[in-house]
Structure 1
Amino acid sequence: MPLDPTTMASPVATPTPAEDNPRAMSKVSAITAITIGGALELYDSGVYNFFATLIIPLYFPIGNPLGQLLLSFGTFGAGYLMRPLGGLVIGAYADRHGRKPAVLLSMWLMAFSALILVVTPTHAQIGYVAPVLMILARLIQGFAIGGEMGSASAMLLEYADERSRGFYTSWQTASQGIAAVFAALVALSLTHALSADALEHWGWRAAFLLGILVIPIGQLIRRRLEETLVPPPRKKTAAGGWQLMRQHWRELVASVLLMTGLAAAIHLIAYYLPNYATFQLHIPRGDAVWAGFVAAAMMVVFGPIAGWMCDRVGRRTMVWWSRVALLLMAYPAFFLLNTFPSLTCLLVVVGCLAIPMAMTSPATLVLVSEVLPQRLRATGMSVTYYVAIAIFGGFAQLFSTVLIHLTGNPNAPAFYLIGCGLVSLLGLTMVPETLGRKLS
């Protein structure tokens, strides 16, 4: 959906002085820069998602297939434990010193974590130092991503006015989809172009190396962005996280509950189903990656549409109907996959589930953003999103695999998605409609 220059409001903040930013971007260019920059930054995380089941055995060799699968998903989730901390630290930095320096900091931290992954030898080569470095890379990656989301979302929101905040914020969802599409295309290209041996030995490293090389491009794209933070009065110097807990505890709890349903949906549909198709449906890895591509493409296409719609019908309405749709579709989707275990069925099911997933994301992000004051927005967005992600998103694959093992029911992941969705609806009852509300 094209950006309409006639509806674009000036950023909330005082523009950057001309001597510091002689060629300030137009609003269309600014939104494009934030979106593309965010996509480039999130690319490395997407690559890890697609290659997780290939990488983990090289660093954590275990003879038991189930144990190795659980360890793979557990290590995948470990990176998510650092995201709330990254959101708190980098988010507070963004709320004090500006959105631009915060997103640049998180970008370079992502590049450093990717470099560790590229150069670290396997367990067979250096022993137990290898898994330690792997976990370190995942923790740094999680810390960096934790700071990017809140800062970038706050900047998008603050470029908009009351009539376009949903549409602007939706480009954060689109950037996640673009990152996953880019990562999926790279993963597919390497999987089909290289032999299994070459992919295992160096192919996946090439994917991360590409991520390092594009980071400077992201910095260049974002260099001329205007700062949108309005500096608070000097007397307001209390720590952002403490203010959030003390003054806005209700909004914080509601936001975590809302984000829980979003986190579970994204990670089960976009990341877990391709792996599920490989180990449960026995669809070849190279084919199953297409499921991640389809889910990401739906986020790119339907995210901005959903943002535009929630600027007209309301945030709560969009969240409600999209979450209810996911609840109703979850079990039939897994039932169909196990009844007709084919690539065609997988892609159709993922495509159908990804539409309400993409529709609920922008409305949730803008709703959470609008209930928080500007001086806490980046911190609050990052912390609430990544607390939910760390618990219910990052470990969604682990929880789902354990559910299958405990119940003997291959459709058990649907129960996890339904449970998280119901919890998120409870959070929806705790926040007011914010459509047209002036930002504080």
Structure 2
Amino acid sequence: MTNTEPRPAGSSAGPGPTASQGRQLSAASVGNAVEWYDWYAYSFLAVYFADQIFPEGAGSSLVPLLSTFAVFAVGFFMRPVGGLLMGAVADRHGRRAALTVTILLMGGGSLLVAVTPTYATAGILAPVVLVVARLVQGLSVGGEFAASTTFLVESAGEGRRGLFSSFQYVSTTVGQLIASGLAALLAASLTTGQMSSWGWRIPFLVGALLSLAGFWIRRGAQETRSREQQEAARPGIFDALRRHPRQSLLICGITTGGTIAYYTWTAYLPTYATVNAGFDKGQALTVGTISLAFFALLQPLGGMLSDRIGRKPMLIGFALGFALLAVPMLQLVTDAFWSLLLVQCAGMVLLTGYTSVAAAINAEIFPARVRAAGIGFPYSLTVALFGGTAPYVGTWFKQAGHPDLFPWYVAALCLVSFCVYLTLPETAKKPLER
């Protein structure tokens, strides 16, 4: 590995991205937005289709919702497999090849969710189809982060890796925003009965069509692997884990607090407010949409700031903020519109300290030869354990009669990552190994 940072086609050290880099950003961001639109539509619409797929349990109306979030978590447990397999594809055959495969898988999974039969018409087949669809989507999204993170950071010019890194969550949030916005629009336009009967299927059909558009855009992207890397011997699928165990553990520690905070504040908080504070379902989706737009605007600012002051101060500020404030912020959630909006936006300001630099710090830890697989598996495994289970754990605490424990759970995991961040070396000013 060389210690110098070769510039990809079109890169420069100037103040803004070149035309070539702009095309690279578009290919990564548009496809990533489509991927995450498909993924998050599930969490926003779960409250509408839960009792269509799962029968109510005796004595508890939360059983269908709990079962639906369990399937949400099951999808997350395919993400490590996707991170490992698609990461290996990216390292062996190129970042672009992996990105085109992941978006086709996501589109297929979204279409399968859209045509999932109800329990009343198909019995046990209904939840089986839903589980298969989420497994396919989990495989896709696990590989997506590994490939797109590597692609974005390798496409950046000198001194702009943080800025380019931030577009990982800009595009993720745009996809989430479109999913939330469409869900809110449908909730406002249709009756609750219509939403539960057939309205919830519309966003998944839209997602399948958008995936085809994303596939077409990604086919025009430039490969970011260097010529030397393309000509070198292809790495084995477990090379990153075997040769870089310390870096793999660091990815886990970096991700633990970030993923629980991210999925709590961006995906689960509307449901948390509905279940725990009696918040109106439609209004909760509206609040989520507004706060997500605010969150997307923050990401490039955080990325540029990290290029100036470093990744470590950003991460420490995020983790310490959530360790101290997660409990009081979630306790402030009531059935009032402004209370939820204030809590969600305040949390997203803190969260930006992690999300705007996550792609950069992950890519800077691993050498190029095994970068995608090295990031993909430990990151996706940690997200599966702590991020994907966040809605289930929060709903389970409510069903068990201890809803106040969930904020402490979030704070504790952020404290774990805070300890890891204190030990990290600063990588912002170092050249990216290629």
Scaled by the length of structure 1, the TM-score of the pair is: 0.91
Q: Deviations over 1:241-281 (max 9, x none)?
A: x2212221111101111101111011111111100111111
Residue in structure 2 matching 1:272, options 268, 278, 298: 268
Q: Deviations over 1:259-310 (max 9, x none)?
A: 0111101111111110011111111111111232234223311111111011
* Residue 49 (structure 1) shift: 1.0
* 2:403 equivalent to 1:414: no
* 2:351 equivalent to 1:351: no
* 2:432 equivalent to 1:435: no
**Match runs of 1:69-108 below 5 Å:** 69-108=65-104
* Contact 2:79-2:141 within 8 A present in 1 as well: yes
Q: What amino acid is the match of 1:421? A: C
Go from structure 1 to structure 2 and tell me whether the alpha carbon gap of 1:128 and 1:409 turns closer, same or farther (over 3 Å shift).
closer
* Residue 202 (structure 1) shift: 1.4
Go from structure 1 to structure 2 and tell me whether the alpha carbon gap of 1:248 and 1:60 turns closer, same or farther (over 3 Å shift).
same
* 2:50 equivalent to 1:53: no
What does residue 171 of structure 1 align with?
A: 167
Aligned residue for 1:11, secondary structure, equals coil
Q: Deviations over 1:388-438 (max 9, x none)?
A: 1100000012222333444x4433221111111011123224431101212
Q: Deviations over 1:39-75 (max 9, x none)?
A: 0121111111101122222111123223333222211
Q: For residues 65 and 437 of structure 1, what CA distance do their matches in structure 2 show?
A: 54
* 2:232 equivalent to 1:216: no
Q: What amino acid is the match of 1:433? A: E
Aligned residue for 1:383, secondary structure, equals helix
Aligned residue for 1:26, secondary structure, equals helix
* 2:127 equivalent to 1:131: yes
Q: For residues 151 and 392 of structure 1, what CA distance do their matches in structure 2 show?
A: 21
* Contact 1:162-1:437 within 8 A present in 2 as well: no
Structure 1: runs of 5 or more not aligned: 1-8, 15-23
Q: Deviations over 1:336-389 (max 9, x none)?
A: 11xx43121011110101111123112232112101011111112221221111
Q: What amino acid is the match of 2:229? A: P
* 2:428 equivalent to 1:399: no
What does residue 379 of structure 2 align with?
A: 385
* Residue 233 (structure 1) shift: 6.9
* Contact 2:295-2:345 within 8 A present in 1 as well: no
What does residue 143 of structure 2 align with?
A: 147
**Match runs of 1:167-206 below 5 Å:** 167-206=163-202
Aligned residue for 1:236, secondary structure, equals coil
Residue in structure 2 matching 1:118, options 114, 118, 129: 114
* Contact 1:13-1:227 within 8 A present in 2 as well: no
* 2:42 equivalent to 1:39: no
Q: For residues 256 and 398 of structure 2, what CA distance do their matches in structure 1 show?
A: 21
What does residue 3 of structure 2 align with?
A: none
* 2:236 equivalent to 1:239: yes
Q: What percentage of residue pairs aligned between the two structures are identical?
A: 32
Q: What amino acid is the match of 2:147? A: S
Q: Deviations over 1:301-322 (max 9, x none)?
A: 1111111011010111110012
* Contact 1:153-1:172 within 8 A present in 2 as well: yes
Go from structure 1 to structure 2 and tell me whether the alpha carbon gap of 1:418 and 1:109 turns closer, same or farther (over 3 Å shift).
same
* Contact 2:316-2:422 within 8 A present in 1 as well: no
* Residue 239 (structure 1) shift: 1.2
Residue in structure 2 matching 1:426, options 419, 424, 429: 419
Q: What amino acid is the match of 1:173? A: Y
Count of residue correspondences: 420
* Contact 1:281-1:341 within 8 A present in 2 as well: yes
User: What CA RMSD, in Å, does the superposition of the two structures yield over aligned residues?
Assistant: 2.1
Q: What amino acid is the match of 1:369? A: A
Structure 2: runs of 5 or more not aligned: 1-5, 12-17
Aligned residue for 2:223, secondary structure, equals coil
Scaled by the length of structure 2, the TM-score of the pair is: 0.92
